[in-house]
Amino acid sequence: GAVVSQHPSRVICKSGTSVKIECRSLDFQATTMFWYRQFPKQSLMLMATSNEGSKATYEQGVEKDKFLINHASLTLSTLTVTSAHPEDSSFYICSARADSTDTQYFGPGTRLTVL
Amino acid sequence: GQNIDQPTEMTATEGAIVQINCTYQTSGFNGLFWYQQHAGEAPTFLSYNVLDGLEEKGRFSSFLSRSKGYSYLLLKELQMKDSASYLCAVSNQAGTALIFGKGTTLSVSS
């Protein structure tokens, strides 16, 4: 149990394009999901908290108009990186907080490379 | 402020026991988590402590002392596949994001 999927696992795109990443909790409900970014050899950095049916809460320094988050159901949150640039290249990881236990489970991550 | 400290690197040999310490100072406390992360992969859940004491799960055990703001992850009978980064994370309030330490990179040699 407690499986979180992320799609795609890897994406390469041209500068200026938009990329959508999906995060799904497969066997549990998650009112709250979190989006993290991790650069090589660094720790996870929280980007935003996504709550089902309401607006996401962004961490300081994260542009909400660039990183669009939608949490349309109790099992799905999406992160769209708009007008991606090479400096957006990173490992993006979502986690879903199980409503019943408060434990967070991570998706497998999406490696984004912007050329 | 929020602060979680853990050693940057540790080394050990196969079959040995290693203890990874974590100290934390957070505005609240709603539980402490340990995750394992292999290079290029997402973290996987190892353990959760919310009350003082030791939680044992196979080769891995985790200890918590809330009064000391201290936890450790104990790994027994080390295997090469245990080489990874181990992340200590604290929930300071139910439903909010975890606060992560910078991780401890463990290298297991034969």
Give A50-78 as a DSSP string.
EETTS--EEPTT--TTTEEEEEEETTEEE
Q: What is the pLDDT of residues A35-72, one digit of tens each?
A: 999 988 788 889 999 998 888 999 999 999 999 999 98
* Contacts with A105 from chain B: Cβ below 8 Å: 45
Interface touch A32/B45, C-beta < 8 Å: no
**How many percent of chain A have pLDDT more than 90?**
71
Report for B8-12, B37-41, B88-92: range of highest mean pLDDT: B8-12
Q: What is the pLDDT of residues A73-111, one digit of tens each?
A: 999 999 999 999 999 999 999 999 988 877 889 999 999
How many other CB atoms sit within 10 Å of the CB of residue B69?
A: 18
* Contacts with B100 from chain A: Cβ below 8 Å: 43-44
Please choose, from the candidates B19, B20, B11, the residue with its C-alpha nearest in 3D space to the C-alpha of residue B89: B20
* Contacts with A35 from chain B: Cβ below 8 Å: none
Report d(CA B44, CA B55) in Å as an integer: 17
* Contacts with B95 from chain A: Cβ below 8 Å: 32, 97, 102
Nearest-CA residue of chain A relative to B100?
A44
For the record, the structure tokens of B71 come out as 């936890």
Nearest-CA residue of chain A relative to B86?
A43
With left for phi above 0 and alpha for psi between -120 and 50, is residue A2 left, alpha or beta?
left
> What was the pLDDT predicted at A1?
64
> With contact defined as beta carbons under 8 Å apart, do A19 and A13 qualify?
yes
Closest partner residue to A106 among B42, B48, B94, by Cβ? B42
